[in-house]
Amino acid sequence: MQNKTSSPETVNLLLVDDRPENLMALDAVLEPLDAKLLSASSGEAALELARNHDFAAVLLDVQMPGMDGFETARRLRELQRASQVPVLFLTATEVDGQQIARGYALGAVDYILKPFTPDVLRDKVTAYIGLFHRTRHLQARLSAVSDAENCAHILVVNDDLAGLLATEASLEQLGKHVKVVLARSGQEALRLLLKQSFALILLDIHMPDMDGFELAAELRQNDRCRQIPLVFVTATTKAEADVTRGYACGAIDFLFVPIAPDLLRNKVNALLNQFRQQWVLTCQVDEIEHLNQNLRASTRELENINATLEQRVRERTDELVRTNEALQFENAERKEAEAALRQQTVELRARNDELAHFNRVVVGRELRMIELKQQVNELCRRLGEPPLHRMTLPPGDHVPDASPDSAPLPDAAAAAKSGKTKELA
C-alpha cells in the first residue's frame, strides 16, 4: 500500500478488507487523491489504527470473518476520535432494506456495490475529503473565536511602576479570562504589539522618550494595531486640547487618575465585551467571505463545465445535422435511382414483350416456310425428282416429316404438282 509523505493538507483514509487483492484494488483507485492510505485486513486492526490516527473517511468491507463490517462500524462509533468519521460500506452482494437501515444507524453514509466504478468511488471519497477540510477549517475558526472569548489580553503602558501594578491588581479581579501585560515605555509596547494581539490598550499620556500621543499615532499607521481599542489614562491633565488630540489619535475614552477600581473594571469589561462581539463578527465575516470564495470558484468551475458541455452539444448537434443532411441527400439519390430503375424495368418489360411477340411471329413464319419446303421436297421425292430445297434446321428444331398420309398439301403445292405432271406428260 502507498505511503505518502504527509503534509498539513494531506488527510488519512482507512481501507478495511480481509482480502489483499481488494485492498490493492482500492489503493490503485484512490492513489491519485491527495491522501495517505492506511490499510487494515480485519476489524481489530482497523480499530487500532482509528485509535491513533484521524481519518477523513473509512471504506469498510461488510463481509469479513470474525468481526464483520457492521460490528467494526459499531465499535468505531464508540471511539471518541473516530465517532464522527463517515463510513462507506463496500459489499459484493445485494443488501436488503434491513441491512441498509442497520448500516446507516451505525454511521454509514453510503453503500458501494462491488465491482465498483473507479471514477464514481474517487468522486465520492473526494467529496468526503473536502468535507473533512472544511470541518477542520471551521474548527480552527471556532477555536480562534473561543480563545478570543475565553482569554482577552490587555496591554497597560505606563512608565510609573506603581501605577502599572495598581492597574494590574484591579484588572486581575476580572477573572482568569483576562490576562494583563505590562509595558513601561512606548518602545516596549510596540515590541509587544508586534508579537501578539491585544483586545484593549490602556495608555498613559506622559512618558519619557515616546509619550502616549506619539505611540497612538504609531499604532494608527499599523494595519494590525489600528483596530485595537485605545483608552488614555492620565493623572496630570484634563485640558480640552489634550482630550481632543487624544480622540484624534484614535482613543475611544479618557480615564483620569485616581480611578475607582470598580469603575475601571466595569469600563474595561464593557470594552472587552464589545471586542468579543467584534471578533466573533469578524470571524463570521471571514468565514462568509471564505465560503463566498469557494462558491465563486465552484460557480466558475460549473460555468466552465456548462460551457464545455454546451460546446460538445453544439458540436454533436452540428455533426448530427450534417449526418442527417447527408442521409437526406443519399435518400433522395436512392429514390431517384429507384424511380429510374422502375422506369427502366417498365421499358425493358415493354421491349421484352415486343421482342417476344416478334419472335413468335418470325418463328411462326419460319416454321411455316420450313413446313412448306418439306412438303415440296416430299412431292419431289414422290415424283422421283431431287429435292428443290436444302433443309438446315437449328439444333433441336424439328418439323414433322411430310408423308402420303399427312395433311393435304396447300394450294400452292397442289398447283406445283399439277404443273409438274403436265410437263412430264
Q: How many domains does the chain have?
A: 3
In a domain, 346, yes or no: no
Determine the average pLDDT of the residues in 309-316: 80
Between 408 and 287, the higher pLDDT residue: 287
In a domain, 378, yes or no: yes
Domain boundary at 121, 142, 163, which?
142
What CATH number has the domain bearing residue 120?
3.40.50.2300
In a domain, 49, yes or no: yes
User: Which pLDDT value is given to residue 390?
Assistant: 77
Q: Are residues 127 and 248 both part of a single domain?
A: no
In terms of average pLDDT, the best of 90-104, 133-147, 377-391, 409-423 is: 377-391
Whether residue 91 has pLDDT greater than 80: yes
Q: Are residues 136 and 17 both part of a single domain?
A: yes
Residues 181-228 have pLDDT tens digits of 888 888 888 888 888 888 788 888 778 878 888 888 887 877 777 777
Q: Are residues 46 and 21 both part of a single domain?
A: yes
In a domain, 31, yes or no: yes
Distances 387 to 377, 390, 398, 403, 425 between C-alpha atoms, Å: 5, 7, 18, 14, 20
Question: Could you tell me the end-to-end alpha-carbon distance of the chain, in angstroms, rounded to an integer?
Answer: 134
DSSP state of 9: T
Contact 164, 156 (CB under 8 A): yes
Residues 1-54 have pLDDT tens digits of 444 444 446 799 999 999 999 999 999 999 998 899 999 999 999 999 999 999
Q: Which domain holds residue 111?
A: 11-142
Contact 186, 214 (CB under 8 A): yes
Determine the average pLDDT of the residues in 298-307: 75
Between 218 and 348, the higher pLDDT residue: 348
User: Which pLDDT value is given to residue 12?
Assistant: 93
Q: Are residues 135 and 169 both part of a single domain?
A: no
Q: Are residues 134 and 179 both part of a single domain?
A: no
DSSP state of 341: H
Residue with cell 418439306: 374
Determine the average pLDDT of the residues in 282-288: 71
Q: Are residues 131 and 158 both part of a single domain?
A: no
User: Which pLDDT value is given to residue 421?
Assistant: 42
Q: Are residues 98 and 53 both part of a single domain?
A: yes
- Calculate the CA dihedral of residues 13, 18, 24, 28 and round it to 10 degrees: -40
Q: Give the side-chain half-sphere CA count within 13 A for 266.
A: 5
Q: Are residues 99 and 82 both part of a single domain?
A: yes
Q: How far apart are CA 213 and CA 219, in angstroms?
A: 10
* C-alpha cell belonging to residue 25: 484494488
User: Which pLDDT value is given to residue 214?
Assistant: 83
In a domain, 239, yes or no: yes
Confidence of residue 407 (pLDDT cuts 50, 70, 90): very low
Count CB-CB contacts under 10 A for residue 73: 25
Q: Are residues 59 and 87 both part of a single domain?
A: yes
Contact 200, 155 (CB under 8 A): yes
Q: What mean pLDDT is reported for the chain?
A: 78
Secondary structure (DSSP) of 202-229 = EEES--SSS-HHHHHHHHHT-TTTTTS-
Q: Are residues 129 and 224 both part of a single domain?
A: no
Q: How far apart are CA 272 and CA 247, in angstroms?
A: 19
Q: Are residues 117 and 155 both part of a single domain?
A: no
User: Which pLDDT value is given to residue 161?
Assistant: 84
In a domain, 302, yes or no: no
Between 416 and 230, the higher pLDDT residue: 230
Contact 26, 59 (CB under 8 A): yes
Whether residue 293 has pLDDT greater than 80: yes
Q: Give the side-chain half-sphere CA count within 13 A for 297.
A: 6
In a domain, 195, yes or no: yes
In a domain, 342, yes or no: no
Domain boundary at 259, 276, 302, which?
259
Least confident of 20-29, 82-91, 158-167, 252-261: 252-261
Between 294 and 13, the higher pLDDT residue: 13
DSSP state of 230: E
Domain boundary at 93, 112, 142, which?
142
Coil, strand or helix at 94:
coil
User: Which pLDDT value is given to residue 46?
Assistant: 94
Q: Are residues 108 and 184 both part of a single domain?
A: no
Q: How far apart are CA 73 and CA 86, in angstroms?
A: 10
Coil, strand or helix at 156:
strand
DSSP state of 175: -
Q: Cα 344–348–350 angle (5° rounding)?
A: 120
